[in-house]
Amino acid sequence: MDVFSDPLNRDVYLTGFLWILKLTLAGGVGAVALGVLLAAMRVSPVPVLRGFGTAWVNTFRNTPLTLIIFFCYFGLFSTLGLSLADDIDVNNFWLGVIGLSVYTAAFVCEAIRSGINTVPAGQAEAARAIGMTFWQTLTIIILPQAGRAVIAPLGSILIALCKNSTIVGTIGLMESSNAMKELINANGNAVIPIFLVFAGTFAIVLIPTGYAFGWLANRLAVKR
């Protein structure tokens, strides 16, 4: 563990995981907001909205995230000149957030849609019978019940998002995987401890998070 007693190396480690944390938070907010909107579109009465939602999901769910992030940088930024910040790191961070949100939203949308499918049809029928509109049925009756059914899948998606945020390293952000690569290249004699610290950090945070989501899902599940 000598490697991490050097404050410079510790800095590399901390900066790396700080980026991961920021990417996960910003990407998570973006993905959930966009995903709920897409799910609402996919069950709406307007065919164009449904088509748009379906096209989005089929496009982004089937494209590798690496390619999406690559496209955000070389396409949106380099070629089309979409600059989000003056600082190159902050700019790449936001490009990464766009890529992560756009990709993860497709999975959030599908999770919420299958959550909607777990709500018994009688609920929506009763809502319609008392004269609720589509929007009212969705927001007052269906989504609150569906939300409780999708906690476990949403948890899995957020965990995957956290792991996926390492891919933003492709466009030069010094997140954890690039940080690990740098430390490995500088300290060839301590490869295993370096890997164990980086991988262990993910494992220590993410494994309990997974079980916590499982516990929460059980607790909040609608008993039928």
Compute the least distance from the CB of residue 198 to other proteins, in Å.
6
Q: Does 216 bind other proteins (CB under 8 A)?
A: no
Q: How many CA atoms lie within 13 A of 157 on its CB side?
A: 25
Compute the least distance from the CB of residue 148 to other proteins, in Å.
14
Q: Does 145 bind other proteins (CB under 8 A)?
A: no
**Interacting residues with other proteins between 91 and 120 (CB under 8 A):** 103-104, 107, 110-111, 113-114, 116-120
Contact 93/168 with Cβ under 8 angstroms? yes
Residue matched to tokens 């089929």? 58
**Interacting residues with other proteins between 178 and 207 (CB under 8 A):** 180-181, 184-185, 188-189, 191-192, 194-195, 198-199, 202-203, 206-207
**DSSP-assigned letters across all residues of 119-188:** S-HHHHHHHHHTT--HHHIIIIIIHHHHHHHSHHHHHHHHHHHHHHGGGGGGGT---HHHHHHHHHHH-G
Among 29, 58, 83, 172, binds other proteins (CB under 8 A): 58
Q: Which is nearer to other proteins, 92 or 137 (CB)?
A: 137
